[in-house]
Amino acid sequence: MDLPEPRDFRQWIKRVLTVLDLTGYRWSREAGVPPNLVSKLLSGEQTDLRLSAACALVRIAQKTARDQGIALPPLERHRLASDPGGCSRP
């Protein structure tokens, strides 16, 4: 299974904010996640998030990009090791 590392997801969030001209607050609100989630991720106050929150953010980014006719930046993904201890920490 391929998933992004938390640090790669944070970098992707930074790029998406710029490309889509969104604020972290607006993106969080539209995704239905706590309104300061994106800001906390970017500041490092929060280093991880639930998969449901990540999916909601990606869904809104995809919809917004589609609506604006803009391509989203690629999200780096890493093959997870079959060993449960194989995932690296943020």
**Cα Rg, the chain, nearest whole Å:** 13
Could you read off the pLDDT of 22-74 as tens digits, one per residue?
A: 999 999 999 999 988 999 998 989 888 899 999 999 999 999 999 999 999 98
User: What was the pLDDT predicted at 86?
Assistant: 47
- The Cα-based distances of 66 to 30, 69, 72 in angstroms read 15, 5, 9
Q: What is the pTM of this model?
A: 0.81
**DSSP conformation letters of 23-55:** -HHHHHHHHTS-TTHHHHHHHTS-----HHHHH
β-partners of residue 3 are 78
For residue 89, name the pLDDT band (cuts at 50, 70, 90): very low
User: What was the pLDDT predicted at 49?
Assistant: 87
Task: Say yes or no to pLDDT of 1 above 60.
Answer: yes
β-partners of residue 78 are 3
For residue 75, name the pLDDT band (cuts at 50, 70, 90): confident
User: Dihedrals φ, ψ of 78, to 5°?
Assistant: -125, 140
